[in-house]
A and B are shown apart, each in its own frame.
Chain A
Amino acid sequence: MRANATLPVGTYGYQPVDLAFLNDRAAQFSDQVARRLSGDLSEDEFKPLRLMNGLYLQLHAYMLRVAIPYGVLSAAQLRRLARIARVYDRGYGHFTTRQNIQFNWIKLEEAPDILAELAEVGMHAIQTSGNCIRNITSDEFAGAAADELVDPRVHAEILRQWSTLHPEYSFLPRKFKFAISGNPHDRVAARFHDIGLIATPGADGAVGFEVFAGGGLGRTPAIGIRLREWLPEHELLAYMEAILRVYNAYGRRDNLYKARLKILVQALGREAFAEKVEAEFAAIPKERYRLGPDIVEAIRARFGKPYLDAPEDAPAELSKHRRRDHAFDLWVQTNSHPHRAAGYISVVMSLKPNGGIPGDASAVQMDAIADLAERFSSGEIRVTHLQNLVLGHVRQDELYTLWQALGPLGLATPNRGLITDIVCCPGLDYCSLANARSIPIAQRINERFANVELQQQIGPLRINISGCINACGHHHNADIGILGVDKKGEEFFQLTFGGRGEEDAAIGQIIGTALPESEAVNVISRVIDTYLARRVPNERFRDTYRRLGATFFKEAAYAAA
């Protein structure tokens, strides 16, 4: 009712040709599944085809990863995900650190039906897996944040389209991840992606990009190198072609674990890699790959705009409710972000309730969130790379009503950015790669620090958990990283400290031996106790850690271990 009636808000409005494309893709996969089931395709031949449609073979069943481009969903799309969870899975889905959703209990025979259902609402699983360009991730407050300089979703969509079934880059040495932000405060971990882009405005409204390449986590964490300080918009695709072409030609293919771009950058060295990219870029026919302003504007025009017209007393209404209700005030304090429009606010719905599984949402919750998004936020929902959901455009005078509706759904946990807002991979409960279960230790930490006041007292602190060295839980770039390892058949956990994902990116350091689950939780408790005892007023954990140093914390935390 409030939104532009013809276009979805926040997502790219598919045109009939785009929908036809998705139907063709679904039909293609249906065909491939039929060829596999009849034996025409061997499993070896089928594997890369199913992976490029997001279908993994996990421990117990197939897992389908559905793309949520730059993390934005319409209410209709979220309802469809709820339906898929209900009909084809066990009633829930798992939101991932790449802003996608995974369904863990899928039957191969039903995967084509699911893709057909997704295509009906302009969704797909294209390139959510496989050695190709994956989902383009972006800032969860894109187009809403008060501190944003450029809305990155338009260029994220351009990159999504350009990379879709790219003829040259669909069989790369390894997977390839993009992140793009339009905010000087990097909420997308741009420096930890194969390519990270920060869009910045130039003179006369022009847009350019700071370009980072060769970052990543996994077995060999690396911070991306800066290739360009300001790449003009019209050269964006030509320059991306140049980086990808160098990678496709020279990236290693003999060793799965040394095949990512970061290894090539390290092997060639920063200078030599940059030289190769620039030489390739110089040779590329610029006119063919030119991203003209007409194309940018045509794509921008397919994004519906939220209806932003709050009454003047909206902020006063919000203040009134905050004064009257302490629990609400606490939630607003932790789980909201300032909006660019007067009288509006963005809010984070935590998917990290006490005792829950980080990133999981039930079909009931998804349906309810879709309803709330339509009622309160122009029908738009965002997925964050920290595995929470966001309503981007909420009127401040309606926030209290929204909060009251979220509570009974288990979606009003006031812990965004706090110690229980844990990022966690599915781990050995689901994943065939994992060495350890990551969900239970997340739940133990959650229980240990369940007290809301204590969490507030501890303040901003990231804990990320990966069940193996592939680092899907991003343990390298958290204040406290937890890595599951296998020690003679038993689950142990290696702790790292001091990682950061933002513009001051850093890789966490190991300061002690791997420990069994309960001991690892005890060490974390002692580290937190030490921090609380030694911090100066208002000092964040990361700053205290940096000031006092790893050795100090090691002695304090591992003394009794």
Chain B
Amino acid sequence: MPLLECGRIVRDSWQKLADDAALPSAPCILSLSRLQQDEAVRTAPHLRLGVALPVDQPAEVLAPYLDRLSLVAVNFSTFRDGRGFTQARSLREHLAFSGEIRATGNILPDQYAFLLRCGITTVETLDGTDPAAWQKAADRFSFAYQPSVLKEPVLSGLRRTMRLGLPRDTDSQLIGN
């Protein structure tokens, strides 16, 4: 599936690993239960790990493993179920997770700014997705009325200047136009 990052489609270097699959050498996304139970995979050297956080679990269940994780995937079984926003924000705010947070499932371009402001960095989209529609949706508003995990600069009062089109500091080579 096309992966959206900073408003454009990027190569997805991650694969999902089935619970009974052998250990790969490429970065892989585990289920929570495999992450919790499979010590071999957790201690495998040089293997980049991600986890799919179930929607009914608080982000805090990942606390013991965060230093081993490069990616957390939060799922939206329907775009109306907003629990993933809270999971992402808890990961950034309470657990100081700085890796990739990926949104999977059923998501509308109209939600892109919300996702980014909750700390989500990549979105799995449907085949044929037009990234311009997502970029346009995210660029709709130039400021927001509340603080977010992006630590946007104060414009005035409660207003924060939104800078969603820009990638995070660590990814400066990916700045789009």
- Within 8 Å of chain B (Cβ to Cβ): is A449? no
How long is the Cα–Cα vector from A24 to B110 in the complex, in angstroms? 13
- Within 8 Å of chain A (Cβ to Cβ): is B58? yes
How long is the Cα–Cα vector from A17 to B157 in the complex, in angstroms? 12
Report which of A162, A167, A237 forms a contact with B85, defined as CB distance below 8 A: A167
- Show the binding face of B for A, using Cβ within 8 Å: 58, 79-83, 85-87, 89-90, 93-94, 108, 110-111, 113-115, 117-118, 137, 140-148, 151, 155-159
Q: Is the CB of A248 within 8 A of B85?
A: yes
Q: Is the CB of B114 within 8 A of A170?
A: yes
Q: When A49-B110, A248-B86 are in contact, do A171 and B79 touch as well, CB less than 8 Å?
A: yes
Contact with B along A26-37 (1 / 0, CB 8 A): 011000100000
- Within 8 Å of chain B (Cβ to Cβ): is A48? yes
Q: When A45-B79, A48-B79, A298-B156 are in contact, do A17 and B143 touch as well, CB less than 8 Å?
A: yes
Q: Return chain B residues, CB-CB under 8 Å to A283.
A: 93-94
Q: Return chain B residues, CB-CB under 8 Å to A2.
A: none
Q: Determine how close the nearest CB of chain A comes to the CB of B163; give it in whole angstroms.
A: 14
Q: When A45-B108, A168-B86, A283-B94 are in contact, do A158 and B80 touch as well, CB less than 8 Å?
A: no
Q: List the 8 closest pairs (A to B, CB-CB), nearest first.
A: A171-B82, A167-B117, A167-B114, A161-B145, A168-B85, A248-B86, A164-B145, A162-B146
Q: Return chain A residues, CB-CB under 8 Å to B82.
A: 131, 168-172, 248
How long is the Cα–Cα vector from A496 to B79 in the complex, in angstroms? 39
Closest A residue, CB atoms, query B155: A17
Closest B residue, CB atoms, query A132: B82
Q: Determine how close the nearest CB of chain A comes to the CB of B157; give it in whole angstroms.
A: 5
A20, A248, A249, A284: which has the most chain B beta carbons within 10 Å? A249
How long is the Cα–Cα vector from A172 to B84 in the complex, in angstroms? 11
Contact with B along A441-457 (1 / 0, CB 8 A): 00000000000000000
Q: Determine how close the nearest CB of chain A comes to the CB of B54; give it in whole angstroms.
A: 12
Q: Return chain A residues, CB-CB under 8 Å to B157.
A: 161, 295, 298-299
- List which A7-61 residues lie within 8 A (CB) of chain B: 15, 17, 20-21, 24-25, 27-28, 32, 45, 48-49
Closest B residue, CB atoms, query A296: B157
How long is the Cα–Cα vector from A540 to B2 in the complex, in angstroms? 68
16 pairs, CB–CB < 8 Å, chain A vs chain B? A17-B156, A24-B142, A32-B110, A48-B80, A131-B80, A131-B82, A161-B146, A164-B146, A165-B114, A166-B146, A168-B89, A169-B82, A170-B82, A171-B111, A245-B89, A245-B90
Q: Return chain B residues, CB-CB under 8 Å to A375.
A: none
- Within 8 Å of chain B (Cβ to Cβ): is A289? yes
Q: Return chain B residues, CB-CB under 8 Å to A17.
A: 143, 155-156, 159
- Within 8 Å of chain B (Cβ to Cβ): is A489? no
Q: Is the CB of B147 within 8 A of A289?
A: yes
Q: Return chain A residues, CB-CB under 8 Å to B87.
A: 249
How long is the Cα–Cα vector from A49 to B143 in the complex, in angstroms? 20
B83, B111, B142: which has the most chain A beta carbons within 10 Å? B83
Q: Return chain A residues, CB-CB under 8 Å to B94.
A: 283
How long is the Cα–Cα vector from A171 to B86 in the complex, in angstroms? 10
Q: Determine how close the nearest CB of chain A comes to the CB of B160; give it in whole angstroms.
A: 11
Q: Determine how close the nearest CB of chain B comes to the CB of A512; give it in whole angstroms.
A: 40
Closest B residue, CB atoms, query A253: B81
How long is the Cα–Cα vector from A218 to B173 in the complex, in angstroms? 53
Q: Return chain B residues, CB-CB under 8 Å to A299.
A: 157-158
Q: Determine how close the nearest CB of chain A comes to the CB of B159; give it in whole angstroms.
A: 7
How long is the Cα–Cα vector from A245 to B93 in the complex, in angstroms? 12
Closest B residue, CB atoms, query A170: B114
- Within 8 Å of chain B (Cβ to Cβ): is A205? no
How long is the Cα–Cα vector from A299 to B115 in the complex, in angstroms? 28
How long is the Cα–Cα vector from A423 to B117 in the complex, in angstroms? 41
Q: Is the CB of A162 within 8 A of B86?
A: no
Closest B residue, CB atoms, query A291: B158
Q: Determine how close the nearest CB of chain B comes to the CB of A245; give it in whole angstroms.
A: 6
Q: Is the CB of A249 within 8 A of B155?
A: no
Closest A residue, CB atoms, query B148: A167
Closest B residue, CB atoms, query A285: B93
Q: Return chain B residues, CB-CB under 8 Å to A289.
A: 147
How long is the Cα–Cα vector from A168 to B118 in the complex, in angstroms? 7
Q: Is the CB of A249 within 8 A of B58?
A: yes
Closest A residue, CB atoms, query B113: A167
Q: Is the CB of A165 within 8 A of B141?
A: yes
Q: Determine how close the nearest CB of chain A comes to the CB of B56; give it in whole angstroms.
A: 9
Closest A residue, CB atoms, query B159: A17
Q: Return chain B residues, CB-CB under 8 Å to A237.
A: 146
Q: Return chain B residues, CB-CB under 8 Å to A546.
A: none
Q: Determine how close the nearest CB of chain A comes to the CB of B85; give it in whole angstroms.
A: 4
Contact with B along A240-275 (1 / 0, CB 8 A): 000001001100010000000000000000000000
Report which of A21, A161, A165, A248 forms a contact with B83, defined as CB distance below 8 A: A248
Given contacts A165-B114, A249-B83, 5 further A-B contacts (CB under 8 A): A25-B141, A164-B146, A167-B85, A295-B157, A299-B157
Q: When A169-B82, A245-B86 are in contact, do A21 and B158 touch as well, CB less than 8 Å?
A: no
Q: Return chain B residues, CB-CB under 8 Å to A169.
A: 82, 85
Contact with B along A162-202 (1 / 0, CB 8 A): 11111111111000000000000000000000000000000
Q: When A167-B113, A167-B118 are in contact, do A24 and B141 touch as well, CB less than 8 Å?
A: yes
Q: Determine how close the nearest CB of chain A comes to the CB of B17; give it in whole angstroms.
A: 27
- Within 8 Å of chain B (Cβ to Cβ): is A324? no
Q: Return chain B residues, CB-CB under 8 Å to A32.
A: 110
Report which of A15, A165, A171 forms a contact with B80, defined as CB distance below 8 A: A171
How long is the Cα–Cα vector from A172 to B80 in the complex, in angstroms? 8
Q: When A131-B80, A170-B82 are in contact, do A161 and B148 touch as well, CB less than 8 Å?
A: no
- List which A214-257 residues lie within 8 A (CB) of chain B: 237, 245, 248-249, 253
